[in-house]
Chain A
Amino acid sequence: EPEVTQTPSHQVTQMGQEVILRCVPISNHLYFYWYRQILGQKVEFLVSFYNNEISEKSEIFDDQFSVERPDGSNFTLKIRSTKLEDSAMYFCASSEQEGPGYTFGSGTRLTVV
């Protein structure tokens, strides 16, 4: 079964450093998403991406965050200057069409120290 692949599975970084989280969505999917889940809290929407541009973003997704699809297979989330409160599981997801029913990756656990 096709799956969304995320790397690394766990990343530890120092506060103030830049991190890039990587995702390979399912190959025929056109819509891409990033969500995050702080330990013990809800899964929260960060951003959606379609046709090489951001289609919607949440208030969490401030100027410190950016997304990119650098080639035909990867989808990345960059955090420019990490803060302690950025520590969370970051999930990439993709879907073939607009609407419900994403396929999520297994996540990258980001720990900011």
Chain B
Amino acid sequence: QKEVEQDPGPLSVPEGAIVSLNCTYSNSAFQYFMWYRQYSRKGPELLMYTYSSGNKEDGRFTAQVDKSSKYISLFIRDSQPSDSATYLCAMSSPGGFKTIFGAGTRLFVKA
């Protein structure tokens, strides 16, 4: 079983839709859960991160972590064409220096 699994998509939605992006993981030691956005031929850009379980909201973005199910989600409200990018989930353990990335989901928001 892969450490982090993420559906690569692509996911195509109309402007204004609510987008749901998800990842599952297998390593119970993960405590930090991150979402990055990556535009073509650019480095990943951190959107938000959560520690342990729960929800975190930042503007149109909401991150959810369910450690009992080993499942994390990112919701994007009122999606915009500028949200079109690849979204990477990522995870790490306390005291560890490396971050494990999912494969990324390509999102297209159509005007």
Contact = CB atoms under 8 A, between A and B. Distances in A.
Interface string B52-96: 000000000000000000000000000000000000101010111
B32 to A, nearest CB: 4
B101 A42 contact: yes
Interface of B: 32, 34, 41-46, 49, 88, 90, 92, 94-104
Given A42-B103, A100-B32, A100-B34, A106 B98 contact: no
A55 interface: yes
A98 B49 contact: no
A106 B104 contact: no
A104 B88 CA distance: 13
B101 A106 contact: no
5 smallest CB-CB distances across A and B, nearest first, come from: A104-B43, A48-B97, A45-B98, A100-B32, A56-B97
A10 to B, nearest CB: 10
Contact of B97 (A4, A42, A43, A50): A50
A105 B43 contact: yes
Interface of A: 4, 31, 33, 41-45, 48, 50, 55-56, 58, 89, 91, 93, 98-107, 109
A105 B44 CA distance: 8
B99 A104 contact: no
A19 to B, nearest CB: 19
A22 B98 CA distance: 20
Contact of A56 (B34, B49, B98): B98
Contacts of A100: 32, 34, 46, 49, 90, 92, 99
A16 to B, nearest CB: 27
Contacts of B96: 56
A55 B92 CA distance: 15
Given A42-B104, A48-B97, A101 B45 contact: no
